Amino acid sequence: MNKFRQLGIDEDILSSIENLGFSEPTEIQQKAIPVVIQKKDLIAGSATGSGKTLAFGAGIIQHIRKGAGLQALILAPTRELAEQISESLKTFAKHKKLTVVSIYGGVSLNPQFSALQKADIVVGTPGRILDHMQRETINLTKVKHLVLDEADRMLDMGFLDDVRRIMSQCPKEKQTLLFSATISQDIRDLSRNFMIEPVNISATPMVDPSKLKQVYYQVSGPLKFSLLYHLLANDTKGGLVMIFCNSRQMVETVAKNLKKNGIDAMGVHGGLSQNRRSDTVSGFNKGKITALVCTDVAARGLDIPGVSHVYNYDIPNDTKQYVHRIGRTARAGKDGLVVNLLSQRDHENFGKVVYDHKDFKIERADPPVVKRIETSAASSNARGNGRGMSRSSFRGGDRQDGRGRDRMRTQGERSRPFERREGGSSASRGPSHGGSSRSSDARPQGSGFRSRGGQGGPSRSSFGSRGSSDNRSHSSDRSRPRMGGNRSNSSNRRD
Ligand code: ADP
Ligand code: MG
């Protein structure tokens, strides 16, 4: 507690922190809290799980007077995050009895009108905040603290214009705090336009890399679900599991089939009603649900303690998302396992992960023999989505082998695209390997992905050094219909 006290935190807030059982400030808290207390502008590079809420919350709460109007506005990318931040702030502000209100879309406006009248602190998503601004149902004239939480994510989600409009409508005399895992040009521009001599700090996330193990399985498309089921059903450690998919439809389908096969699973994505999402997430927090199947957006920033495994059912297209996903486990000194299930259509994205994160050790895991499970597509209740996905498209997104065998190895013997024999071909990713604008000759020979070997494969392996047969299989993969691919109907939305 002394270390918190040294940062200049009020006794009231210190006692709330003590009640929460925090013994020491995290790195970002150590660096940010004194700056926030001094009312300086701040740009903080800080990942999910690093303890940002208290990092900005402690100082802000200290400066807020109950009943003196809306004094702090916190913008967050998703409804769940807004909800979570406001719950945390309420706990930190318990002794001051501040009124903290969360404001987001997808729920009725009416209760928000009256709540906004009484709020000392508002935590909201940009779209709905702007909506209230246009209706003149939010009064920003007293705002003294503005926080952009997970700013990179907010911009990724297309909120740049909304954020700019909100920032420009807040009083000039105020403190602006910007937290982001990555600092892009847009974020620099925002800070140049709206911040005054900001202090720059950054902190490493709470995830402990030595506690994190990452593996991948090669599996043919039609057997991917069976492998997932097998791994979950044979997991003896227990614990909470997050399963990431790239589209709403895939979330629905995976969750449905897990449930059908007796696994306690729930899906969350942006197409579900707010109540359903909140119920699901709180069920997960209380340990009722053992597997949460989710899209990146729905999961982003949710603080779910005790996630033992992260499964990537689809590999994200954006390697930053991969980092966010794995940040869900191995928190606070606990062990964590990340399991990547790679079928043909994931190879390109996985290649990007491996290329961008040469520091990650992602080991190839021996494919178990799995019993094939028949699956069916979810009825299409990814909201706003008119079309369901046919069973064959779920099972056969990249089908390449025949059906009929009941028990089979999950990995076809034919292709092992993440490996190469000693002295294999060039390590560059050729131009035919679409999707990447990176210069292929930037990659040094033999760099990139290495498995540790000793797991049934060649001892030295490198991603990206594929022979021509592999390139062929990629292009044919692209021409097939994909699950969670590029079609623009909302079933493929990523939130
Ligand atoms: P972020 O916003 O960076 O994702 P949060 O503020 O949600 O991180 O905090 C992540 C988790 O860490 C929460 O469960 C929170 O209660 C916990 N936490 C925050 N600060 C501390 C601390 N100083 N000591 C222990 N746990 C902490
Ligand atoms: Mg947060």
Position in ligand 1 atom list of the atom nearest CA 84: 7
End-of-domain residue from the set 202, 234, 256: 202
Give me 195's structure tokens. 């911040």
Position in ligand 1 atom list of the atom nearest CA 205: 3
For the Cβ of 51 lying below 6 angstroms from any atom of ligand 1, the answer is yes
Looking up tokens 């895939």, which residue turns up?
A: 250
For the Cβ of 305 lying below 6 angstroms from any atom of ligand 1, the answer is yes
For the Cβ of 26 lying below 6 angstroms from any atom of ligand 1, the answer is yes
Considering the domain architecture, whether residues 321 and 246 belong to the same structural domain is answered as: yes
Sign of CA dihedral 62, 67, 73, 79: positive
For the Cβ of 52 lying below 6 angstroms from any atom of ligand 1, the answer is yes
Q: Which residues contact 348 (CB under 8 A, 6 or more apart)?
A: 433, 434, 435, 436, 474
Report the length, in residues, of the chain: 495
- Nearest ligand for residue 80 CA: 2
Considering the domain architecture, whether residues 179 and 226 belong to the same structural domain is answered as: no
Considering the domain architecture, whether residues 69 and 6 belong to the same structural domain is answered as: yes
Q: Tell me the pTM.
A: 0.56
Considering the domain architecture, whether residues 364 and 441 belong to the same structural domain is answered as: yes
Centroid of ligand 2 to alpha carbon of 81 (angstroms): 7
Considering the domain architecture, whether residues 338 and 443 belong to the same structural domain is answered as: yes
* Residue 304 within any structural domain of the chain: yes
* Residue 486 within any structural domain of the chain: no
User: Looking at residue 433, what DSSP letter applies?
Assistant: S
* Residue 481 within any structural domain of the chain: no
End-of-domain residue from the set 187, 202, 217: 202
For the Cβ of 29 lying below 6 angstroms from any atom of ligand 1, the answer is yes
Considering the domain architecture, whether residues 16 and 71 belong to the same structural domain is answered as: yes
Considering the domain architecture, whether residues 324 and 466 belong to the same structural domain is answered as: yes
- The pLDDT value recorded for residue 200 is 94
Centroid of ligand 1 to alpha carbon of 51 (angstroms): 4
Q: What is the rounded CA–CA span in Å between residue 465 and residue 449? A: 10
Q: What is the rounded CA–CA span in Å between residue 55 and residue 71? A: 17
Considering the domain architecture, whether residues 241 and 149 belong to the same structural domain is answered as: no
Ligand 1 atom 2: the closest Cα is on which residue?
A: 52
Spatial contact of 458 and 422, defined as CB atoms under 8 Å apart: yes
Position in ligand 1 atom list of the atom nearest CA 26: 23
* Residue 391 within any structural domain of the chain: yes
- The pLDDT value recorded for residue 416 is 43
Best mutation site among 2, 4, 20, 80 for ligand 1, i.e. most ligand atoms within 8 A of its Cβ? 20
- The pLDDT value recorded for residue 142 is 98
Q: What is the rounded CA–CA span in Å between residue 182 and residue 248? A: 25
For the Cβ of 22 lying below 6 angstroms from any atom of ligand 1, the answer is yes
Q: Among 346, 387, 125, which residue's Cα sits nearest to residue 252?
A: 387
Radius of gyration of the chain (CA): 24
Position in ligand 1 atom list of the atom nearest CA 47: 3
Q: Among 300, 283, 282, 206, which residue's Cα sits nearest to residue 244?
A: 300
Which CATH number fits the domain that encloses residue 413? 3.40.50.300
Burial 195-211 (b: 16+ CB within 10 A, else e): beebbebbbebbbeeee
Q: Is 233 exposed, middle or buried (CB count within 10 Å of its CB: 0-12, 13-18, 19+)?
A: middle
Reported as type and span, the H/E element at residue 20 is helix 11-20
Domain around 435: 209-472
Give me 84's structure tokens. 């979570």
- The pLDDT value recorded for residue 68 is 97
Q: What is the rounded CA–CA span in Å between residue 282 and residue 100? A: 19
Residue 197 corresponds to which amino acid?
E
Q: Which residues contact 34 (CB under 8 A, 6 or more apart)?
A: 7, 8, 59
pLDDT truncated to tens, each residue of the chain (495 aa)?
789 999 999 999 999 999 998 888 988 999 999 999 999 999 998 877 788 999 999 999 999 999 999 999 999 999 989 999 999 999 999 999 999 999 999 999 999 999 999 999 999 999 999 999 999 999 999 999 999 999 988 998 899 999 999 999 999 999 999 999 878 889 999 999 999 999 999 886 555 667 789 999 999 999 999 999 999 998 877 678 999 999 999 999 999 999 999 998 989 887 777 777 777 777 777 777 789 999 987 776 566 767 889 999 999 998 888 988 888 787 666 778 999 999 999 999 999 999 988 778 899 999 899 989 988 887 755 443 333 333 333 433 333 333 333 344 444 433 444 433 333 333 333 333 333 333 332 232 332 333 333 333 322 333 333 333 333 333 333 333 333 333 334 455 666
Q: What is the rounded CA–CA span in Å between residue 149 and residue 63? A: 19
Considering the domain architecture, whether residues 99 and 175 belong to the same structural domain is answered as: yes
For the Cβ of 53 lying below 6 angstroms from any atom of ligand 1, the answer is yes
What are the φ and ψ backbone dihedral angles of 325, each rounded to 5 degrees? -60, -50
Considering the domain architecture, whether residues 91 and 178 belong to the same structural domain is answered as: yes
* Residue 33 within any structural domain of the chain: yes
In SS3 terms, 310-331 reads as: EEECCCCCCHHHHHHHHCCCCC
Q: Is 234 exposed, middle or buried (CB count within 10 Å of its CB: 0-12, 13-18, 19+)?
A: exposed
Ligand 1 atom 22: the closest Cα is on which residue?
A: 22
Ligand 1 atom 26: the closest Cα is on which residue?
A: 22
Considering the domain architecture, whether residues 343 and 465 belong to the same structural domain is answered as: yes
What domain count does the chain have? Answer: 2
* Residue 488 within any structural domain of the chain: no
* Residue 484 within any structural domain of the chain: no
End-of-domain residue from the set 181, 202, 223: 202
Position in ligand 1 atom list of the atom nearest CA 29: 23
Considering the domain architecture, whether residues 17 and 50 belong to the same structural domain is answered as: yes
- Nearest ligand for residue 50 CA: 1
Q: Among 181, 145, 167, 133, which residue's Cα sits nearest to residue 40?
A: 145
**∠ CA(180), CA(186), CA(187), 5° rounding?**
30
Centroid of ligand 2 to alpha carbon of 80 (angstroms): 10
- The pLDDT value recorded for residue 296 is 87
- Nearest ligand for residue 44 CA: 1
User: Looking at residue 490, what DSSP letter applies?
Assistant: G
* Residue 312 within any structural domain of the chain: yes
Looking up tokens 């990555």, which residue turns up?
A: 182
Sign of CA dihedral 101, 107, 113, 115: negative
pLDDT tens digits, residue range 58-96?
999 999 999 999 999 999 999 989 999 999 999 999 999
Best mutation site among 19, 33, 54, 300 for ligand 1, i.e. most ligand atoms within 8 A of its Cβ? 54
Q: What is the rounded CA–CA span in Å between residue 248 and residue 254? A: 10
Ligand 1 atom 5: the closest Cα is on which residue?
A: 51
